[in-house]
Structure 1
Amino acid sequence: MPLQKHLILVGPMGAGKSTIGRLLSEQLSCSFVDIDKEIEERSGATIPWIFDIEGEEGFRDRETQAIVEMCKEPPQIIATGGGCILRLQNRQCIVQSGVVIYLATSVEQQLQRTGRDKNRPLLQTQNPKKTLEVMAEVRNPLYSEVADLYIDTNLKPTKLVMQEILSFLEE
């Protein structure tokens, strides 16, 4: 089943966007791009380094540029960063460019999956749980706003999540 439009995965960090994206890419025999990895490759720097030097705003500028450019490519699977939906331009771009899948998860699950990951600058705080709760309050309504499909990935095997997406695409 060749993709007619991009398949764009949105959701908080730790929801499984990259993992699910890679699985779908194999299953559908199409290319996969992780926006965060794309930014690192283009800049030759890690995301924490970009945050340190350019701040979150500089990182978000790079993110918007990558999203806009990737959405001009032939249909592929795109895993976005958790904060990409903060910018209206990004939300408009992904809604116009593809089928948007919102992979949701709880703050507890996010902490389990990302707790020791030093590549997540926004979690390098005294209270990562509080940070994630505040992010969820702001971001979850935006993920819902752009989503064509909502999937709760909490404690759900990745293959089951992939199957739900494939079933949705077949409909």
Structure 2
Amino acid sequence: MKNFMLMVARVTGLLGTIALWIAGTGVVIMTAFIAMQVFFRYVLNSSLPWTEPAAVMIMGWFIFLGAAVGIREGYHLSFDVVLYFVPEKVKLALYTISDIVVGAFAVGMVKYGWELAERTAHNKLPSLGISGAFDFLPIVVGGCLLVLFCIERIARRAAGLPTSRFGDDHEDETPKSTKAEA
């Protein structure tokens, strides 16, 4: 089981890296589009009608892909004061409950994002000339990644694998900066 989970972790790690690269590239492209729009509007006194909808669409991609990777890596927001006072087994159970809730939310993202994409697939975005479904695909893809990453986190925990990369390994509470200095 552990060997299989390590292989799964490598695959999901690769997926996470690809998602982060796409998200990072999206931030750069969106920034370039907005800069182009500002230049064209205020310097050339002309406007590019496609930059704003394209930037908003790209923003959806980097938000949902980045959020999925943040969940995988354990960097999402959490209220963890109680975790400082409960035993390790309770912490692990609470992490698992959290992953189940996030996974259920992600299933909703996939289901309802897909429905929205289906309903707008026949609409054409006038300034971009593409299907309206493209506005909702980031919700579906981000939701799929979230489901996958939540399942991975639960399975890694069940297999007894260390999950320090994912934010819930409390075997060694030494901060990373102290470890590197030692």
Q: TM-score range by the shorter chain?
A: 0.3 to 0.5
Structure 1-normalised TM-score? 0.34
Q: Which has the larger radius of gyration?
A: 2
Hey, which of these two has a bigger chunk of strand by percent?
1
Structure 2-normalised TM-score? 0.32
**Higher RCO structure, 1 or 2 (CA under 8 Å, sep 6+):** 1
Hey, which of these two has a bigger chunk of helix by percent?
2
